[in-house]
Amino acid sequence: MVGEQLFYWISENTATITSIVSIITVGIWGFYAHLLYRDYSNRNHPRILIQQSPGSRANSLCLLTNMSEKILNVTCVFVVGYGEKGSTYKKKITDYEQFTTETQTGQITHIKSIQERPLYPGDLICLGRFDSLLQKLENSESDQIHKLEIRVVAFFGARDEPIGAYRRFLIHTEQEGFIRQIIPNGLGTEQMTTFLQKREIGYWIQDCLNEEPD
């Protein structure tokens, strides 16, 4: 009796059941399509990490790491200082060191020159100490730098279009002018992805071509 009622109910609601099954099927396929797209996007999305280590002292190191899943070719690195009187100071950085990270062991190996090879996933560049980067900026003693910006221009994988990233650091000094602390002005590195930001990368490249290296 129950079986007959169930069969009768299914017969009467065949169209509704078919619609529900179709919606569920589309939802499942949509979920898998989303996973595939996210995986593709992650693999083809450049990500540059600019960080400070260790601590926040003036002699802490400024590090640049390739967090992408493809090779980066670093074209230009700039350090920009913002003075308290509104002046801006820029300097192209070339005397930095590159390190490679072994995928299986995690061992970090020093490479003599950045020009020798591209930056593979997990590889990093040491731009030097923050106080050394500040010394490269030719600011006057009366115009103390209160904010430092690290700019990077690179090429990602086989793309012809350059990418960029930057991160700002706040400089806290004592009354005598000694640097007490350097801290990031934000939680992470800003990736240049919008249309206006990509136009800004073009100006960075012009600065790179016009600026004399350190």
User: What confidence tens digit (pLDDT) does each residue in 5-38 have?
Assistant: 666 666 767 777 777 878 888 887 877 776 666 6
Q: Can you list the pairs that 37-44 forms with residues at least 24 positions away whose Cβ atoms lie under 8 Å?
A: 42/69, 43/69, 43/70, 44/70, 44/157
Any idea which of 43-57, 78-92, 131-145 has the lowest mean pLDDT? Answer: 131-145
Q: In whole angstroms, what is the distance from residue 10 CA to residue 97 CA?
A: 72
Give the pLDDT of residue 202. 92
Max CA separation in the chain (angstroms): 96
Give the pLDDT of residue 173. 82
* DSSP letter assigned to residue 189: P
Give the pLDDT of residue 2. 57
Quick one: CA torsion of 113, 117, 123, 126, rounded to 10 degrees? 20
| pLDDT at 49 > cutoff 90 | yes
Give the pLDDT of residue 40. 59
Whether the Cβ atoms of residue 132 and residue 96 lie closer than 8 Å to each other: no
Interval 84-134: pLDDT, tens: 888 889 999 887 777 666 555 555 555 555 454 688 888 888 898 999 898
- CA distances 209 to 75, 87, 203, Å, are 10, 21, 10
Give the pLDDT of residue 213. 56
Compute the average pLDDT of residues 65-92: 89
Give the pLDDT of residue 114. 47
